[in-house]
Amino acid sequence: MTRFANAFAKGPALVCFITAGDGDTASNLDALVAGGADVIELGMPFTDPMADGPAIQEANLRALARGTRTADIFRIATEFRQRHPNVPLVLMGYANPMTIRGPEWFADECAKAGVDGVICVDIPSEEDAELGPALREKGVSLIRLATPTTDAARLPAVLNGSSGFLYYVSVAGITGMQQAAQGSIEEAVARLKAASDIPVAVGFGVRTPEQAAAIAKVADGVVVGSAFVEIVKQHGDSAPGPLQDYTASLAEAVHSARINA
């Protein structure tokens, strides 16, 4: 079984996002794992993060101001894989840093670093050839995004070539700013699960253990990002302790959600 399959086989998975190069990234990643994160998303800082709200935009700027480069991200990923051989690691970002040296180069670096999957926000399924074949050639999952506006006509194209898990963006907006109604999430997850066998994780706007638990009762995973990034901003190099505590509160809610359903 792949690391993704193992992570989702245990029940609802907690997927945690932070931005590479923002704060002490290695220690922050270790804190997420220690707190109970099942899957890690590591954001690749970019100058124009169009899907992200203010919290992650600011994290991108902080990371870039510190001189974070793609080589640094792969070094962080490689060292993470050495410390945590069984935790799935996803790189999340935008097309330019992933394709500027050619998709084959990026896919090869992902494979060498032990990256399990890639989320590229601004390469839609219609443009899969820009990155998808290179990733699949190296055994790296391309994790696609589905949204409230992904209709039945387009969904097959989104699912085609997607693996690892499907990321359901629960609001038609940017990260960290609003929370979707639970009823709309339940309806969407049921529709997606009826169309595919891969796990469905729900993100955008999830902040509290109560929200996470409600989503985990219907979805295969819950994604939290902006709230972690705000902790890094608030605590700087002292963030690992608060990050671990917050992760643990979310993990308990997510992992017990089906039991308490």
Q: How far apart are CA 176 and CA 170, in angstroms?
A: 11
Residue 261: other Cβ atoms inside 10 A: 9
> Of residues 22, 24, 38, 41, which has the active-site annotation?
41
Q: How far is residue 122's CA from residue 254's CA, in Å, rounded to a whole number?
A: 29
**Quick one: angle between helices 25-35 and 70-83, nearest 10?**
40
**Helices marked H in 66-172:** 70-83, 95-99, 103-113, 132-137, 155-159
Angle between helices 25-35 and 240-256 (to 10 degrees): 30
Closest C-alpha to 72, from 142, 25, 124: 25
| Distance set, CA 218 to CA 27, 158, 195, 251 (Å) | 32, 21, 15, 16
CA-CA distance, 186 to 255, in Å (whole number)? 18
Produce one character per residue of 61-85: b if its CB has 16 or more CB atoms within 10 Å, e if not. ebbbeeebebebbbebbeebbeebe
Identify the active-site residue in 22, 38, 52, 220.
Answer: 52
For this structure, is 41 an active site residue?
A: yes
Buried b (16+ CB within 10 A) or exposed e, 148-163: bebeeeebeebbeebb
183 vs 84: CA distance, rounded Å? 36
Catalytic residue ranges = 41, 52
